[in-house]
Amino acid sequence: MNIRKMTIGAVMVLAACATMTAENSPPVTLKQAYAGAFLIGTVMGKPPAREAEWHLLCRQFNSITAGNCLKPKPVHPAEDRYEFATADVVVKMAHEQGLVIQGHTLIWHSQCPDWFFRDGDKPAGRELVLKRMRDHIATVVGRYAGKIQGWDVVNEVIDSGKGYLRETKWLAAMGEDYIAEAFRAAHRADPRAKLYYNDFSIERPAKREKALRLIRELKSKGVPMDGIGIQGHWELDKIPYQDIEDAIIAFHKEGVDVAITELDLDVVPRRVTGAEVDARDAAGADPYPNGLPAAMLQRQADQYGKLFAIFYKHRDKISRVTIWGLHDGVSWLNTWPSKRTNHPLLWDRDLNPKPALAAVLAVPVAAAQRWGG
């Protein structure tokens, strides 16, 4: 355990508590509470719609993930055309505020245009797809070199079923080597950037074993890969706490950094587990259109608190925890896997803090008190 790191964080939290004011918002912000432990991020796929959202983000967070605006489909819709307008604004806003920026994502089966894989009316061969991949990564990563601190280079390529790798167009065109090639290309474009493999459900033992295999294979080939992102799209009452803790320890043992990259806590029951973006739930249940009952808000708070207690305990292994959205109104879980009114985050639609925020803020305070701070 890194005692020095813990002590600095604890002292900051206690100092902030001592200056409590009567104002409505909690006296300590997320980034203050976790200072010295890990970065606290949220996703920003485009500039926030309301000024109050941007203020809240800057006050509470010290990191953003530039999400949708950097995915291949929006950023590189045709082979000879890049669309950087939105990403440029997002990166500029965040950079000027001193937020640590994560880029998401370079290689993914979803939100990726088909031109990468076509050669006229036939499928493109390996060399052509490799060249396009290298051009794409060199251009996108190169453009933001020095501003974007880390990249989710490869996203969700482990198979959720019995196989090792997901059957994607990248795999079909290039073979298993495409993963290593993507990391190498990203490293060439910005040697200082931290490079991550990112996926959902890799805390679960079956998928975790495959992620460990991938890390080992890449390391044995000397591929420049720095870390692993556990997405963290979990569901209320179904959080696999023990698996999460085991996975953090196991990935750390392989010598890679661990980040929690897309945390949210779905409160609407669904039939789809994990975060398979193409999955759709036809049931369309929408049980909380007018808000979440107080008892559920409290349950959600307790479970967020338990999760952050695990993250905080392992802060020597974790560099960042990113929550997938600033407030309930902008969560992707309002439309996936079906349309519903969801409440998975720490602030509600009116930007009021939910009980979950207090529970998350309480974690370092409780730890400091245990240490006699």
Q: What residues act catalytically?
A: 156, 262
Q: Of 70 and 189, which CB lies nearer to ligand XIL in the complex structure?
A: 70
Residue given tokens 């251009």 in the structure block: 139
Nearest to 244 by CA among 275, 281, 204, 274: 204
At a CB cut-off of 8 Å and minimum separation 6, what does 22 contact? Answer: none
Contact predicate 46/69, CB 8 Å: yes
CA-closest candidate to residue 203, choices 254, 152, 274: 274
Q: Do 149 and 193 touch, CB atoms closer than 8 A? A: yes
Taken in order 169, 171, 173, 179, the sign of the CA dihedral is positive
- Contact status: 197 vs ligand XIL (CB under 6 A): no
Q: Could you say which of 9, 332, 355, 360 contacts ligand XIL (CB under 6 A)?
A: 332
Nearer to ligand XIL by C-beta: 15 or 85?
85
Binding residue count for ligand XIL, defined by CB under 6 A:
8
Q: Does 155 sit near ligand XIL (CB under 6 A)?
A: yes
- Nearest distance, CB of residue 170 and ligand XIL, angstroms: 15
Report d(CA 285, CA 283) in Å as an integer. Answer: 6
153 part of the interface to ligand XIL, by CB under 6 A:
no
Q: Is 275 in the site for ligand XIL (CB under 6 A)?
A: yes
Which residue lies nearer to ligand XIL by CB, 8 or 272? 272
Give yes or no for a contact between 286 and 339, defined as CB atoms under 8 angstroms apart. Answer: yes
Please give the Cα distance from 284 to 337 (Å, whole number).
8
* Tokens (6 digits) for 36: 């010295």
> Considering the complex, what minimum distance in angstroms separates the CB of residue 16 from ligand XIL?
31
**Residues 27-66, interacting with ligand XIL (CB under 6 A):** none
Place of tokens 């992707």: 332
Site for ligand XIL, residues 232 to 251, rule: CB under 6 A: none
Residue nearest to ligand XIL (CB): 332
Report in angstroms how near the CB of residue 262 gets to ligand XIL at its nearest.
6
Q: How far is the CB of 277 from ligand XIL (least distance, A)?
A: 5
Among 29, 42, 62, 68, binds ligand XIL (CB under 6 A): 68
| Minimum separation from the CB atom of position 275 to ligand XIL (A) | 4
Contact between 133 and ligand XIL by CB under 6 A: the answer reads: no
Least spacing, CB of residue 68 vs ligand XIL, in Å: 5
State which residue, 68 or 319, has the beta carbon closest to ligand XIL.
Answer: 68
Instruction: Check if the beta carbon of residue 314 is closer than 8 Å to that of residue 366.
Output: no
Residue 288 tokens, joined: 């909380």
Beta carbons within 10 angstroms of residue 74's beta carbon:
18
C-alpha to C-alpha distance for 292 and 348, rounded to whole angstroms:
10
Among 218, 277, 361, 367, binds ligand XIL (CB under 6 A): 277
Who contacts 267 (Cβ-Cβ below 8 Å, separation ≥6)? 236, 288, 292, 296, 300, 342, 343, 344
Site residues (vs ligand XIL, CB under 6 A): 67-68, 155, 231, 262, 275, 277, 332
